[in-house]
Chain A
Amino acid sequence: MSVWNTRPGPPAARRTKLASSLDRLGGRREAPDRATGADGADSKLLEVSHLSTHIWTRAGVVRAVDDVSFELDYGETLGLVGESGCGKSMTALSILRLVPEPAGRIVGGEILFEGEDLLHLSAEQMRDRRGGRIGMIFQDPMTSLNPVHRIGDQIAESARIHLGLSQRAASDRAVELLDKVGIPRARDRARDYPHQFSGGMRQRVMIAIALACDPILLLADEPTTALDVTIQAQILELIVSISAEFHTAVILITHDLGIAAGMCDRINVMYAGRIVESGAVDEIFNRPRMPYTSGLMASIPGLSTARGQPLRTIEGMPPNLIDPPAACRFAARCSDAREICHAGEPELTSRGGPDHHARCWGTDTGGWLP
């Protein structure tokens, strides 16, 4: 465990960070200075450019994430939306450098987090960012907690390692965090084991662990998929209130467009390892400029769709990413596809609206789609 305690940077800086995080717990926190980057100006919190992550399988090399670029501002909530296998989780794992090796490997690109390239950090430095400046919440709260350790200790471990708190201070911090995420009788419940918690409570514990070190970026990979709709509403409300209070940026990975609509400032729609459309949430939902996005939206029964009528579907299945077609990857399933769509792959180009980009020949300048 000792290596975990080795922290880069001068001790003075460390104390400042610790003090500010303790202030926050006591509610004495000053207005966040995170709206602008560390060096002022308009630098972004996270800049992912040309990220490619491949997975080696017996059948061939799967291009799970293929030349993906996007940015994230301080305090912003970005949705990564798409179906299973589209590369959204692998993108998140790449940012955390948790791609399962040796089968998977990040083969190219750059991930600038607060100005430093995560891909050039040593394993030790990366461990320090992970769970420190970058918090994470995974899908399955049943398997993400260690069943043989007390809840409080699991939260305290992170605070001890990353913030260098003493055992006792870390335990106190764990209780405060449990209280913060809405666990009643936090001091007693900190002594419980995970099996004594329900699914929703465990996800609250996961959020407490993610928050333990005062992250500036929270990666939430399908945080409510395993939960009931009522509990899901509780957890989403918690994530929203926490990101607002602490000005934490969030990358929310979800397949549920309803959740994305309610939570996110901006959306990246992913398909077959690529971002196929990105933009402000209202742009994406009100003026989708990529047939895959509009197809997805039409295929969910809403509370106001005509009952009993067949839903619009997207026929077929996503392409095999071992040998993706040198064409628009959605063309084979697209009812609006023309010859050009099968001939070459379009670039992610601007669609006029604020920061609205789409990868589609049909809606590009001179295209045939509205």
Chain B
Amino acid sequence: MLGYRHGGLAAVTAPVERAAPVDGGARDLVEVDDLKVHFPIFGSLGRRHGDVRAVDGVSLRIRRGETFGLVGESGSGKTTLGHAILRLVHSTAGQIRFDGQDVAAVGARELRRLRRRMQIILQDPYGSLDPYLRVEAIIGEALDIHGLDQGPDRKPRIAALLSLVGLDAQYANRFPHAFSGGQRQRIGIARALAVRPEFIVCDEPISALDVSIQAQILNLLLRLRSELGLTYLFIAHDLSVVRHISDRVGVMYLGTMVEVGPAVSIYARSGHPYTRALLSAIPVPNPGAERRRRRVILRGDIPSPASPPPGCRFHTRCWLYEGLGSPERCRTEPPIPRTIAPDHQVACHFADETLASEVGVVQSDAPVQVGPLPDVPMHGAPMPGAPMPGAPM
């Protein structure tokens, strides 16, 4: 099925020559500094009641050629962050630079030029393809907008893109309804690749697909990354998938980045209680491990981003906070990110205590550490959310 292997296509699909970065290659492809994206809340009579602080002071770097995984619950601001980098939403404060250019400041003409270099793959393959357009038009639209591969080059280019994503070039004349979810997602990927981008935001690209199809799309994304030298921002809520594809991982909670680090380090030695809770919540397809496992189950829902809790935003649901006897610091002082391992930052006052605990630790041989709950409750408080004895979960 994979026509991309045949010669000839290489010329069509190879990435265009990249302009040398401004300062000789040291610069990261995407630089985000203290980014804030707030959405106003209007009441009746158009009065402004406040803001939803979807992204509230996030800094991050995405290096050339790497895959940066972004995880967090819904409402944590991960999609908004992805959209802000592409300037699909306006930022309220802070800076976003793509290859050194300030994304928020560029004019319309320059923005279009930038957008050719950065694309997005959307979550819902049923909602993101226009049902009235043929596949050829869906993919070709991006080419027309940017004036690429026009005239006699257009058809072969579209055919090449289709085979690149593992679809028969014959399908160019069909409408989206003729395709399954996985095939539609391939079309969405072909559309994103049409303009030969360097950077792609993958916004939950496989969450809407069936299990066996998820693996196909994940493999496709991995292959395209190495063949075309792409850089991904991979947004997902499935931590096992993010671990599989990412070089570095950022964990978001309520508009802030609570932990950033190399994927290996995050999954093996996370220093944030929220990350630990997320890891311990992943169901593992191994009945034995599932039975032995002790989970920390977070109580309640993510608070409203319109009025985030003071201090550390996670303290209202934090198992460590309760275990430590509710230290005042967590309620009053927002934690500053600090480095706990090479390239690994954590925003938690008690990262050392988290590191000392066994909750949600992932080891390479056993799927998930099943050891005892942490010894952190120094004040004798019972661990919150510990599952009842005997219950398999």
Identify which of residues 334-348 in chain A touch chain B, using a CB-to-CB cut-off of 8 Å. none
Contact B211 A301, beta carbon cutoff 8 Å: no
Contact A299 B211, beta carbon cutoff 8 Å: yes
0/1 string, A310-325, CB within 8 A of B gives 1: 1111110100000000
0/1 string, A53-73, CB within 8 A of B gives 1: 000000000000000000000
- Does A302 have its Cβ within 8 Å of any Cβ on chain B? yes
Interface size of B in residues (CB-CB distance below 8 Å): 61
Q: In the complex where A237-B387, A241-B388, A299-B212 touch, is A201 in contact with B301 (Cβ < 8 A)? A: yes
Contact A303 B240, beta carbon cutoff 8 Å: yes
0/1 string, A279-302, CB within 8 A of B gives 1: 001100110000000011101111
Contact A301 B297, beta carbon cutoff 8 Å: no
Contact B210 A84, beta carbon cutoff 8 Å: yes
Selected from A198, A233, A237, A302, the residue in CB contact (under 8 A) with B367 is A302
Closest B residue to A282 by beta carbon equals B287
Docked Cα-Cα span, A300 to B243, in Å, equals: 12
Segment of B32-40, B88-96, B195-203, B358-366 engaged in the interface with chain A? B358-366
Selected from A260, A285, A301, the residue in CB contact (under 8 A) with B240 is A301
B residues in contact with A317, CB < 8 Å: 180, 182
| Distance between B244 CB and nearest chain A CB, rounded to angstroms | 4
Contact A308 B287, beta carbon cutoff 8 Å: no
Contact B244 A307, beta carbon cutoff 8 Å: yes
0/1 string, B144-161, CB within 8 A of A gives 1: 000000000000000000
Contact B238 A308, beta carbon cutoff 8 Å: no
0/1 string, A179-199, CB within 8 A of B gives 1: 000000000000000000010
| Distance between A179 CB and nearest chain B CB, rounded to angstroms | 15
B residues in contact with A256, CB < 8 Å: 211, 283
- Does B223 have its Cβ within 8 Å of any Cβ on chain A? yes
B residues in contact with A198, CB < 8 Å: 301
Most buried by A among B211, B223, B293: B211
- Does A240 have its Cβ within 8 Å of any Cβ on chain B? yes
Contact B244 A305, beta carbon cutoff 8 Å: yes
| Distance between B196 CB and nearest chain A CB, rounded to angstroms | 23
0/1 string, B242-270, CB within 8 A of A gives 1: 01110000000000000000011001000
Q: A233-B298, A301-B241, A310-B223 given. 17 additional CB < 8 A pairs?
A: A200-B301, A228-B73, A231-B301, A237-B393, A256-B211, A260-B285, A261-B284, A282-B288, A296-B212, A299-B211, A299-B215, A300-B211, A301-B244, A302-B240, A303-B279, A304-B364, A304-B365
8 contacts between A and B (CB under 8 A): A83-B211, A200-B301, A228-B74, A282-B288, A301-B244, A303-B368, A311-B244, A314-B212
7 nearest interchain CB pairs? A258-B283, A301-B244, A299-B215, A262-B290, A233-B281, A257-B285, A311-B215
